[in-house]
């Protein structure tokens, strides 16, 4: 079995076990600790990937790039995360308006735990596990045949793995950034830093917004029914105000994304080299790899179809019924 074929089998296996876990949890009568529910998906992803790697003897398990990078590259990866947040936030906002926010319940329930524990469970562990599996194993194998297609396909599978439209939308874009960063640096460490920073930012902002919502002044206004000012302000808002707001958001996204591209170019120069990264977009580079199996074979199509059916049923059909 060829390298890409084995990777496709691994992804479909992860999805099958992941969905089995979801339905098993729903059938278990006993209430499971919420912190355990946060760890369980990552444990399933990691263990399934490792088992399939062992059974199929997937070579990339030994080739996962964990080389130490410079402090400058780590610092730039940390900063790059904040420059990517505006774009990801806008994508998240748009998709949540269409189909709801898939993480809203998680962000609310996690506040029952200390912030440091939530950062470990929601930011650190997912960043390490998902980078190891999707950038280390999946992208690590796909890029051996075609690096640019490997970037796109690994990002697609990373998005589908979340099994909902809202998270898929921004996870796909984030997956492209993470794969390119991994390719540019030749290490998982920068992508882990970026992934962790974005997740941790969401956790911290959620706790801060909760503290603001629960402030005495707001509680007093709500308890006394003194919300007229907010309602009036909203009612008196003019269409031009919304246009200005949209223009400001667009400007912030444009500026931050531009600086993100420039910073990524700087990371490339400090590591693999910008010419080397640019070369993956060239036609001769994209066809010079030995045949390692078809990307869209029966195994991968099965996994993708399972994801699509799951998303359509739980994100669309159930909501329409």
Q: Are 10 and 56 in contact (CB under 8 A)?
A: yes
pLDDT value of residue 100: 82
| CA 45, chain centre distance (Å) | 14
SS3 66: strand
Determine the 3-state secondary structure of 187 from DSSP.
strand
The answer to whether residues 14 and 299 touch, using CB atoms and an 8 Å cutoff, is no
User: Which pTM value belongs to this model?
Assistant: 0.89
Compute the distance between CA of residue 154 and CA of residue 150 in angstroms, rounded to an integer.
6
* Mean pLDDT per 10-residue interval, the chain, length 321 residues: 92 97 84 87 96 86 82 96 96 88 81 90 96 94 89 96 94 97 95 97 88 52 47 54 84 96 96 88 66 88 97 86 71
Per-residue pLDDT, 234? 44
Dihedral of alpha carbons 107, 257, 167, 99, sign = positive
Count the neighbouring beta carbons within 10 Å of the beta carbon of residue 164: 21
Tokens representing 154 are 């690994």
pLDDT at 284: 64
Domain boundaries, the chain: 3-212+238-320
Q: Cα–Cα distances in Å, from 278 out to 159, 180, 207, 264, 281?
A: 24, 10, 40, 12, 6
DSSP class of residue 32 equals: P
What is the pLDDT, as a whole number, of residue 208?
87
């Amino acid at each position: 079995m060829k390298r890409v074929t084995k990777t496709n089998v691994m992804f479909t296996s992860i999805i099958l076990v992941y969905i089995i876990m979801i339905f098993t949890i729903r059938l278990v009568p006993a209430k499971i600790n919420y912190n355990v529910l946060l760890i369980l998906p990552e444990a399933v992803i990691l263990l399934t990937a490792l088992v399939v790697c062992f059974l199929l003897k997937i070579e990339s398990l030994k080739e996962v790039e964990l080389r130490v990078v410079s402090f400058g590259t780590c610092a730039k990866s940390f900063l790059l995360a904040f420059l990517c947040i505006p774009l990801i936030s806008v994508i998240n906002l748009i998709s949540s308006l269409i189909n709801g926010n898939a993480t809203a319940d998680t962000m609310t329930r996690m506040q029952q735990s200390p912030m440091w524990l939530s950062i470990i469970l929601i930011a650190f562990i997912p960043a390490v596990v998902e980078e190891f599996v999707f950038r280390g194993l999946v992208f690590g194998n796909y890029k051996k045949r075609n690096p640019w297609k490997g970037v796109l396909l690994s990002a697609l599978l990373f998005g589908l793995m979340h099994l909902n439209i809202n998270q898929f939308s921004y996870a796909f874009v984030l997956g492209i950034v993470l794969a390119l960063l991994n390719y540019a640096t030749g290490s998982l460490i920068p992508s882990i830093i970026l992934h962790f920073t974005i997740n941790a930012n969401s956790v911290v902002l959620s706790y801060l917004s909760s503290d603001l919502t629960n402030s005495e002044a707001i509680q007093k206004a709500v308890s006394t029914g003194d919300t007229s000012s907010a309602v009036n302000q909203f009612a008196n808002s003019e269409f031009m105000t919304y246009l200005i707001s949209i223009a400001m958001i667009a400007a912030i996204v444009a500026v931050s994304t531009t600086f993100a591209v420039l910073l990524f170019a700087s990371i490339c120069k400090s590591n693999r080299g910008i010419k080397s990264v640019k070369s993956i977009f060239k036609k001769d580079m994209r066809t010079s790899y030995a045949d390692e199996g078809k990307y869209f074979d029966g195994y991968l199509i099965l996994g993708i179809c399972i994801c699509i059916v799951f998303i359509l049923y739980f994100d669309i059909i159930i909501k329409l019924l």
